[in-house]
């Protein structure tokens, strides 16, 4: 298996143009970002009209699993063979420069291109849902009741094959124009992170049930 998801001669859709030094086609880099995030935005077209839909996902090798209602227009459209774009982004900080022009953010982002198809077999659908669940919160699938046959029937699961992908990142301090470094303006980075807070129990939770360890130790 190649170390890059896209060949060196990537097509126009995944070629890095602006600030290519911040980008990568390396499989390890792309996987690391996809595994750190859990919310993606899926772009596709219906009758010439563009749509972008947020969705949770799970990754297994070069596959992304997406799920939704069996009546989902997005899933039906993708299953019919429409090309799609999946983006996942992590924001790591606000970059505050001395000039308004050079403000930025530190981030990690992946744009993946490919096509998807619905999984018909109940066993494969259940496996894909487990991958999504474990991606969000490792250990949860074993605790929860598995989907019933009726619930699986009401759920569509897509297997999105990553055909091409690129990652793009920014890190570090602001970069100002040389003459602006003397300005009496605070500059630097305001780090940001997604942090779990204390779990809030359901009001109908049985008495005496403590949160599971994987919840208390959750880190993403």
- pLDDT, position 72: 82
Q: Cα-flanking dihedrals φ and ψ of residue 195, to 5°?
A: -125, 135
pLDDT tens-place string over residues 21-60 = 677 888 999 999 999 999 999 999 988 899 999 999 999 9
Q: Which class would CATH give 20-216? A: mainly beta
| Per-residue model confidence (pLDDT) at position 48 | 87
Task: Give residue 47's region: left, alpha or beta (phi > 0; psi -120 to 50).
Answer: left
pTM of the model: 0.89
**CA R_g for the chain:** 21
The closest alpha carbon to 174, from 109, 108, 107, 94, belongs to 94
pLDDT in tens, 90-127: 999 999 999 999 999 999 999 999 999 999 999 999 99
């Amino acid at each position: 298996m190649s170390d890059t998801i896209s060949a060196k001669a990537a097509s126009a859709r995944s070629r890095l143009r602006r600030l290519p030094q911040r980008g990568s086609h390396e499989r390890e880099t792309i996987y690391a970002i996809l595994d750190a995030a859990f919310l993606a935005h899926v772009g596709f077209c219906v009758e010439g009209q563009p749509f972008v839909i947020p969705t949770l996902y799970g990754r297994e090798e070069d596959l992304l699993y997406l799920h939704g209602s069996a009546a989902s227009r997005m899933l039906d459209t993708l299953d019919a063979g429409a090309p799609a774009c999946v983006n996942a982004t992590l924001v790591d900080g606000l970059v505050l420069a001395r000039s308004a022009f050079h403000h930025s953010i530190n981030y990690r982002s992946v744009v993946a291109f490919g096509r998807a198809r619905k999984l018909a077999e109940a066993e494969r659908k259940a496996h894909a849902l487990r991958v999504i669940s474990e991606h969000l919160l490792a250990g949860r699938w074993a605790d929860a009741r598995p989907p019933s046959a009726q619930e699986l029937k009401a759920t569509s699961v897509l297997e999105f094959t990553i055909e091409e992908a690129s990652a793009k990142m920014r890190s570090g301090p602001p970069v100002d124009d040389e003459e602006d470094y003397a300005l009496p303006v605070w500059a630097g980075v305001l780090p940001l992170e997604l942090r779990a807070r204390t779990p809030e129990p359901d009001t109908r939770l049985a008495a005496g049930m403590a949160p599971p360890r994987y919840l208390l130790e959750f880190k993403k």
